[in-house]
Amino acid sequence: MKKLIYTLLACLLLTSGLHLSAQQRVEPEAKKEGVKRVICFGDSITGHLPYINYQGQYFKFADLLDLMLKGHLGMDKVEVLNAGYAGDKTYKGGDKPGALPRLEKDIISKTPDICIVMYGANDSKKTEADIKTTEKNLIEIVNKLKAAKIKPLLVIYHKTVPNPKHPGKAWVHIDKTAPAIEAAAKATETPIRGMRPFFEAALKKYPAWQLVNRVGGIRLNRRGELVY
């Protein structure tokens, strides 16, 4: 019985340690010679907090992309880092730092070769002026990345899946972000990837809740991470 109790306590301590380490920011090391660095820059779809140890609990699409690229190019040729920040906007708001204010610290100073940018879902979209603000901020982000010799890729969010029991809780306003992202890509001549077609194809094969969770129908579940 004592051995069982000690084992259970050890498991509790281990899982507690995992939870604590998941919230601890670990600054990436300087990029090594010959290694291509990709940074995923976004909100909660991308990650919880930038540069934290969460892989002991779950994987995000940035981690899957890292494994895929390493399998294709070689373990010592590429790395993918996650700079997602849950609830973040393109601008500073509330307790969130904002993409523009943290761009230098979280992206440019890490000297990536490529930055995958998916932002705007949390911005206010009550008016046309709000959408224009998102567009303007994305243009500024892209221009600053290019000035730092970092190649940007803009990403349009996937399809929102309403919960049949609570259809009003779906984040349908996310669709209003797409025109701002498209306009920013056009204005800056930046490559763009829309995720909606891939999600629509996946929805024909798999239940919606394998792709996204039931709260809001937007945050990714495991199969959704794979689609990304």
pLDDT at 214: 82
* pLDDT per residue as tens digits for the range 82-122: 999 999 999 998 899 999 999 999 999 999 999 999 999 99
The Cα–Cα gap between 41 and 64 comes to 15
**13: phi then psi, degrees, rounded to nearest 5:** -65, -40
Q: Calculate mean pLDDT across residues 150-158.
A: 97
Token pair in block for residue 59: 């994987």
What is the C-alpha to C-alpha distance for residues 156 and 102, in angstroms, rounded to an integer?
21
Structure tokens at 66: 């890292």
Burial bucket for residue 177 (CB in 10 Å: 0-12, 13-18, 19+): buried
Residue 175 confidence (pLDDT) = 82
Whether this model's pTM surpasses 0.85: yes
Q: Give the residue from 155, 144, 139 showing the smallest Cα distance to 43.
A: 155
DSSP code string of 146-185: HHTT-EEEEEE------BTTBGGGS-GGGGGHHHHHHHHH
C-alpha gyration radius of the chain = 19
| Residue 36 DSSP one-character state | E
pLDDT at 167: 62
Is residue 8 packed enough to be buried (19+ CB in 10 Å), middle (13-18) or exposed (0-12)?
Answer: exposed
Q: What is the band of 18 on the pLDDT scale with cuts at 50, 70, 90? A: very low
The residues pairing with 40 across neighbouring beta strands, listed in sequence order, are 82, 116
Residues 6 or more apart whose CB falls under 8 angstroms from that of 46 comprise 40, 60, 61, 62, 82, 83, 84, 85, 118
Tell the residue number behind the tokens 């498209």, with chain if given.
182
| pLDDT-based confidence at residue 169 (cuts at 50, 70, 90) | low
Note the helical H segments in the chain: 2-22, 61-73, 99-106, 128-147, 177-188, 196-203, 208-211, 222-227
Six-digit token string for 213: 């969770």
